[in-house]
Chains A and B, each alone.
Chain A
Amino acid sequence: MTDVAVIDSGVANLGSVLAAFARADLPVRVARVPVELEGASHVVLPGVGSARPAMARLVASGFAEVVPRLTVPVLGICLGMQLLFRSSAEDDVACLGVIDAPVERLRALPGLRIPHMGWNRLDPVADDPLLAGFPEPAYAYFVHSYAAPVGPWTIAACSHGQPFSAVVRARNFVGAQFHPERSAAVGARLLRNFVGAP
């Protein structure tokens, strides 16, 4: 049975993420402490803000120890996706280390806007069930100044002066740099794909 638990990591967009699952007709609940992840079929790690306070909260609440060991599907959203990586150049902080690569600041090039804010096109680079049913082209809503590099973990890339990972997968861990909760039909499709809903 589908039982999606969204980790309350003390960030402001928790309600938006919960609402997105509700709009997609997917049952969802909040996990405020690690023990509440028990029985969950799927786990979501949302995130906005900056890496250091977010990691500090995950460490203090105990989630930092538990999340990397989860065997059920885990979805990191925006900063939550970045926290799946080894480290972040934002505040130079160690992260959860599920994916062994660093998150870097987007390079400031002449005429390039930072933060990367708005709708940008996804470039699928792997055939992955998380991307099933996406339109071509598929646009998603991004808001960020740091990004994960493209690597074997990348299933969809995006470009803003440089290519970066837009959607990633490593074993049972997936992540979206964009905000599915604000990416209209593409975002809803990704959430439904994550839980295996038609």
Chain B
Amino acid sequence: MLTRRIIPCLDVRDGQVVKGVRFRDHVVMGAIEDLALRYRDEGADELVFYDITASPEGRSADLAWVERLGRLLDIPFCVAGGIRGVEQARRTLEAGADKISVNSPALERPDLIDALAAEFGVQCIVVGVDSEWVDGEWRVRQYTGDPNRMRDAARRTLDWLAEAERRGAGEIVLNCMGSDGVRRGYDLEQLRAARAVLRVPLIASGGAGAAEHFAAVFREADVDGALAASVFHSGAIAIPELKSYLAGEGIEVRR
């Protein structure tokens, strides 16, 4: 049986891993390779590296660290941040990334998803979605890496998820901004609604604060993976203990 994935997310800025609270006020957490190897050793199932400065500034992910990670890691990893076209995606995949994730550029030009899927196959195309509850509905937010540029993407979240899958997304990471960084649990209601409109794997993001939150999101929202950052970086949750707990709860995990 397919196991549920535990996915530490490493927000990368200027070659270091950082973490902000509610997407603002970033604090340096450590060096990319040190954290990547630590999580590999602890039993992380996959890693996501997100260059949070890339998209707002129009840069693409620096490929030197992607190449180093590609040589270093023996678990899959995804690179997100500033991938705006097929050639940037190709270079990132050839540098060693197993998947690439697009967010704001796909909102600017949705057929980027079609082009990426046609070129590389849906299995390595992840669409990241930042979503927030606004005026009685979940809405997509764009350019969330920069508080000064962040804006409403003029799309309803559930509509955009369905469109992204139809265009060729092989996996969706849904970041629920209202719960991000505050450690009160994943947004189960929103994730359940997202699960209902998707057939591809769905990864929950935003809100993990305790082991119980992981059990709840797997059990109640039926997500394929749970992504978290600060609780892992700070040591508040250790992955081996988290997996033991989940296994004890009857949730199948790789150990």
Query: Which of A's residues lie within 8 Å of B, judged by CB?
Result: 12-16, 19-20, 22-23, 48-50, 108, 111, 113-121, 139, 141, 143-145, 159-160, 179, 181-185, 187-188
Contacts and interface: CB of A to CB of B under 8 A. Distances in A.
A117 B1 contact: no
B56 interface: no
Contacts of A185: 74
Contacts of A179: 76, 98
28 contacts: A12-B93, A13-B93, A13-B98, A14-B94, A16-B70, A16-B96, A20-B74, A23-B71, A48-B121, A113-B2, A113-B200, A113-B201, A113-B224, A115-B122, A115-B170, A115-B171, A117-B170, A117-B224, A118-B3, A118-B224, A118-B225, A119-B254, A120-B2, A141-B75, A143-B124, A160-B2, A179-B76, A184-B40
B120 interface: yes
B45 interface: yes
Interface of B: 1-3, 5, 40, 45-46, 67, 70-71, 73-76, 90, 93-96, 98, 120-124, 170-171, 199-201, 222, 224-225, 254
Contact of B70 (A15, A114, A121, A143): A15
Contact of A119 (B3, B67, B73, B124): B3
A121 B94 CA distance: 28
B115 to A, nearest CB: 14
Given A12-B94, A15-B95, 20 more contacts: A12-B90, A12-B120, A14-B94, A15-B94, A48-B120, A48-B121, A48-B124, A50-B121, A114-B200, A117-B171, A118-B224, A119-B45, A119-B254, A121-B3, A139-B3, A141-B75, A143-B124, A179-B98, A184-B74, A184-B75
Residue from B90, B96, B123, B200 with most neighbouring chain A CB atoms (10 Å):
B123
A117 B254 contact: no
A143 B123 contact: yes
Nearest to A180: B74
A114 B222 CA distance: 15
Among B2, B45, B73, max chain A CB count under 10 A is at: B2
A184 B3 CA distance: 15
A131 B5 CA distance: 24
B35 to A, nearest CB: 17
Contact of B199 (A15, A114, A144, A188): A114
Contacts of B45: 118-119
B162 to A, nearest CB: 15
Contacts of A15: 67, 70, 94-96
A118 B74 contact: no
B120 A144 contact: no
Contacts of A121: 1, 3
Given A12-B93, A16-B96, A117-B201, A139 B74 contact: no
Given A12-B120, A19-B96, A115 B74 contact: no
